Amino acid sequence: RLPSGVAPHARRTAGARLAGADVAAMASLLNEAALPGPQGEDGPVYVDYNASTPIAREVADAMAPYLYEHWGNPSSAYVYGRRTAEAVANARRQLAALLNAQEAQAHVTFTSGGTESNNWAIRGAARAMRAADKKRSHIVTTCVEHPAVLEVCRFLRDVEGFELTEVAVDAEGVCAVEALEEAIRPGETALVTVMHSNNEVGALMPVREAAGLAHAAGALCHTDASQSVGKVPVDFVALGVDFLTVAGHKMYAPKGCGALIHRRDVPMEKFMIGAGHEQGRRAGTENVILNVGLGAAAALAHSRGVAQTAAKLAARREELRGALLATLEGAGVQARVNGPGDAARRLPNTLSISLRGVVGAKLVARVQDKVACSSGSACHAGAVRMSGVLRAMGVEPEWGDGTVRLSVGKYTTSRDVEVVAREIAVAAAEELRLGSGVTSG
C-alpha cells in the first residue's frame, strides 16, 4: 500500500536520507513504524512478494510528475519532449547502474515486463543463431523454469522445429553444472536459458557457469532474473550472459514494465517494426511513466545496498521459518522446508514449506482473510496436482500436496510473522482434523 497522510515532500526527504544512509541509519528508516505494510489496517497479512510487490512510495513519487506535468512525447525536439526523453535516459542509467550493465557492453531496452523480455530474448536469439547456421537448432533450459521461458522454448520446439533439452534438477531444486554440460551440444546448441532463481523454492542457479559452457560451445546464454533483481546482487558483466530479463513488479515498481539487458556485440532481431524507438530495437512511443518507475525502483535498490537488503530479508525469513515450524509442531502438524539447505544458494526472502497430509490449496483458501500467500498445489474436482517444480524435485505427494510458499518483503514486520505462524498452524490443524477429501493427481 501507499500510506495515506504522508506529504510528498516528507516522502522525498525520506528518499534523500535513504540514498546516503549507512547500514544503521537504513535499519532505522526501514523500521516497522516508518514502513507499514501493503495490506492496510484491516487486510490480510501479505507474504506473497514473489507474486508481486507493492509500488514503493519513493517510486510513486518519482512517477507522479510524469502523470501531470511532464507529458511530452520523448521523440519531440521541443522542451516537452526533451524533458521526457531525458527521464527515460535517466531511468536507463539507473537500471544499468544496479545491474552493472556497462553502456559500452550492454543495451538496456525497456519492455512491458518479464514475459515480453523472455520471449524476445529466447525467440530472437534462437532464430538468429539458426539463420546464421542451420545446424544450430538446439535449445537447452531447465525443467523448472517459469512458463514465460519454458512455454516459449516448447513453442519453438513444437512450431518451429527446434530441438529442446529440459535439464533436470536435484532434490533442492538446483540444476547441476555437470547436467548442463552434458546437455549442451557444441556446434548444434543455439541457446542456453537458465533462470537466475526459482520463484517457488528460491533456489539460485549456476548461471555464470551456464554462460561459460554455452559460450565454449558457440551458443548464446539468457537468464530470467525477474525474481532476483533487488533481492540479491545481480551483475550482468560478472554473470557473463548475453541476455538478462528484468520484471518491474517484482522489485517495487509498477506492473507492466520491465527490461531486457543484452550485449551490444550480439545480433538481435527487432521486437517491433516501426520507428526508431528504444534505440531502434522496439518500436512504439516509450511509456515514460512506467520507465521512470522502473528506474526509480532500481535506484532505490542500489542506494540501499542489495547485499544489506538481502541480509534483512534473510533475517525476516528465518524469523518466519522458526516461528512457523515451532507453531506447527505445537499444533501437531508435521512440516519440512523445501529448497537449498545452504542459505547462500537460495533467495533470502523465500520460504517453501510442506505440511504433511494437508492440501496446500485448501489451506491457502482457509486463511485468505488473514494471510495472503500461495500454495504449491492446485485442487480441482476433488483431485490435487502438485506443482511441476516440486514434482521435478522428487517431493512425495503426501508432502508436496501440502506446500505453501511464503515470501517476505521490505514491509514484512515481526507482528506479521506472528500472525502468519498462528493462522497457518490453526488452519493446518483444522484441515488435518477434517481430512482432505481429495486425492493426489
Per-residue pLDDT, averaged over 83-110, amounts to 92
Which parts of 295-346 are beta strand (E)? 335-338
Phi, psi at 127, each rounded to 5°: -65, -40
The C-alpha atoms of residue 163 and residue 174 are separated, in whole angstroms, by 23
Q: For 153-183, what is each residue's pLDDT tens digit?
A: 999 999 999 999 999 999 999 999 999 999 9
Residues ≥6 apart with Cβ < 8 Å to 287: 110, 112, 256, 257
Instruction: Please give the residue that has the higher pLDDT: either 199 or 437.
Output: 199
Residues ≥6 apart with Cβ < 8 Å to 227: 50, 195, 196, 197, 198, 199, 202, 250, 347
Instruction: Report the relative pairing of strands 189-193 and 138-142 from DSSP bridges.
Output: parallel
Q: Which of 153, 221, 257, 379 is catalytic?
A: 379
**Of the candidates 118, 75, 296, 82, which has an alpha carbon nearest to the alpha carbon of residue 224?**
118
Residue 252 near residue 151 (C-beta atoms within 8 A): no
Burial of 69 (0-12, 13-18, 19+ CB in 10 A): exposed
The C-alpha atoms of residue 43 and residue 45 are separated, in whole angstroms, by 7
Per-residue pLDDT, averaged over 49-67, amounts to 96
pLDDT above 90: residue 14: no
Looking at residue 438, what is its pLDDT? 52
The C-alpha atoms of residue 244 and residue 325 are separated, in whole angstroms, by 36
Q: How does residue 15 score in pLDDT terms, banded at 50, 70 and 90?
A: very low
**Helices and strands per DSSP (H, E), number in the chain:** 17, 16
Single-letter amino acid, residue 103: E
Q: For 28-45, what is each residue's pLDDT tens digit?
A: 433 443 345 666 667 899
Looking at residue 440, what is its pLDDT? 54
Give catalytic status of residue 175 as yes or no: no
Give percent above pLDDT 70 in the chain.
Answer: 85
Instruction: Report the relative pairing of strands 220-224 and 377-380 from DSSP bridges.
Output: unpaired
Q: How does residue 269 score in pLDDT terms, banded at 50, 70 and 90?
A: confident
Q: How does residue 21 score in pLDDT terms, banded at 50, 70 and 90?
A: very low
Mean residue pLDDT of the chain comes to 87
Least confident of 130-139, 282-291, 355-364: 282-291
Q: For residue 74, is it left (φ>0), alpha (ψ between -120 and 50) or beta?
A: alpha
Alpha-carbon separation of residue 52 from 248, 252, 253, 338, 438 (angstroms): 9, 8, 9, 21, 30
What element of type H or E holds 245?
strand 243-247
Looking at residue 25, what is its pLDDT? 37
Looking at residue 34, what is its pLDDT? 39
Looking at residue 42, what is its pLDDT? 75
First-to-final CA distance of the chain: 38
Angle at CA 151, nearest 5°, toward 245 and 137? 85
Dihedral sign, Cα of residue 368, residue 374, residue 379, residue 380: positive
Q: For 219-264, what is each residue's pLDDT tens digit?
A: 999 999 999 999 999 999 999 999 999 999 999 999 999 999 999 8
Burial of 122 (0-12, 13-18, 19+ CB in 10 A): buried
Looking at residue 36, what is its pLDDT? 52
Instruction: Report the relative pairing of strands 220-224 and 243-247 from DSSP bridges.
Output: parallel
Instruction: Please give the residue that has the higher pLDDT: either 279 or 188.
Output: 188
pLDDT above 50: residue 18: no
The x, y and z cell numbers of residue 314, run together, are 534473510
The C-alpha atoms of residue 170 and residue 377 are separated, in whole angstroms, by 20
**Of the candidates 250, 1, 246, which has an alpha carbon nearest to the alpha carbon of residue 108?**
246
pLDDT above 80: residue 73: no
Q: For 298-331, what is each residue's pLDDT tens digit?
A: 999 999 999 999 999 999 999 999 999 999 999 9
Per-residue pLDDT, averaged over 374-401, amounts to 82
Q: For 103-149, what is each residue's pLDDT tens digit?
A: 788 899 999 999 999 999 999 999 999 999 999 999 999 999 999 99
Alpha-carbon separation of residue 173 from 49, 166, 294, 314, 352 (angstroms): 20, 14, 30, 19, 11
pLDDT above 80: residue 287: yes
Q: How does residue 441 score in pLDDT terms, banded at 50, 70 and 90?
A: low
**Of the candidates 408, 424, 316, which has an alpha carbon nearest to the alpha carbon of residue 368?**
424
